Amino acid sequence: MTAADLLHPEIETLDPAALRRLQETRFAAQWAYLGSSSALYRERLGAALAAPMDLDRIAALPLTEKETIRLTQERRPPYGEHVACAETEIVRLHRTSGMTGRALVMAQTAADAATTAAVGARAMRSAGLRPDDRVVHCLNYCLWTGGVTDHLILEAAGATVIPFGVGNTRELIAAIRELGANAISCTPSYPALLEKLLAEEGGIAPRDLGLTLALFGGEPGLDNPSFRQRLEAVWGFRVRNANYGLSEVLSILGSQCETTEDLHFHAGDAVFAELLDPATGERLPIRAGTVGELVATHLGKRCQPLLRYRTRDILTVTGDGRCGCGRSAWRFRVTGRTDDMFNVRGVNVFPTAVRAVIAGLETLSTGHFRIALAGPGPYDRIELTVEAAAGSAESGWADAARTIETAIRRQIGAAARVRMVAAETLPRTAGKTNWIERSPSR
**Shortest spacing between CB 123 and Zn ion, in angstroms:** 11
Query: Which CB atom, from 40 or from 127, has the smaller least distance to Zn ion?
Result: 127
CB 134, CB 160: distance < 8 Å: yes
Q: Are 276 and 312 in contact (CB under 8 A)?
A: no
Tell me how far apart the alpha carbons of residues 266 and 329 are, in angstroms, rounded to a whole number.
Answer: 6
Instruction: Compute the distance between CA of residue 368 and CA of residue 382 in angstroms, rounded to an integer.
Output: 15
DSSP state of 389: P
Q: With contact defined as beta carbons under 8 Å apart, do 322 and 328 qualify?
A: yes
State in angstroms the smallest separation of the CB of 289 from Zn ion: 18
Q: What's the min distance (Å) between Cβ of 264 and Zn ion?
A: 6
Taking Cα atoms as reference points, which of 179, 181, 136, 172 lies closest to residue 154? 136
Residues that bind Zn ion (CB under 5 A): 257, 323, 325, 327
Could you tell me the smallest distance in angstroms from the CB atom of residue 29 to Zn ion?
30
Q: In what order do the strands lie in the sheet with 134-137?
A: 160-163, 134-137, 183-186, 213-217, 238-246, 250-255, 263-265, 331-337, 309-319, 291-298, 271-276, 283-284
Q: Which is nearer to Zn ion, 127 or 418 (CB)?
A: 127
CB closer to Zn ion, 1 vs 110: 1
Kindly state the smallest distance separating residue 76's Cβ from Zn ion, in Å.
Answer: 42
Question: Nearest-CA neighbor of 307 among 269, 354, 261, 271?
Answer: 271
* Closer to Zn ion by Cβ: residue 264 or 302: 264
DSSP 124: H
In this structure, the number of other CB atoms found within 10 A of the CB of residue 358 comes to 22
207/322 with CB nearer Zn ion: 322
Helix/strand/coil (H/E/C) assignment for every residue in 58-109? HHHCCCECHHHHHHHHHHCCCCCCCCCCCHHHEEEEEECCCCCCCCCEEEEE
Q: Which is nearer to Zn ion, 167 or 321 (CB)?
A: 321
Nearer to Zn ion by C-beta: 104 or 123? 123
CA distance 154 to 160: 8
CA neighbor of 195 nearest in space, from 223, 158, 256, 236: 236
Residue 397 in 3-state DSSP? helix
Instruction: State in angstroms the smallest separation of the CB of 394 from Zn ion.
Output: 47
Dist. CA 80–CA 305, nearest whole Å: 11
CA proximity to 338, closest of 65, 58, 41, 95: 65
Residue 17: exposed, middle, or buried by beta-carbon count in 10 A (0-12, 13-18, 19+)?
A: exposed
Q: Which is nearer to Zn ion, 270 or 325 (CB)?
A: 325
Task: State which residue, 257 or 408, has the beta carbon closest to Zn ion.
Answer: 257
Residue 1 Cβ vs Zn ion, minimum distance, rounded to whole Å? 8
Q: Which is nearer to Zn ion, 128 or 206 (CB)?
A: 128
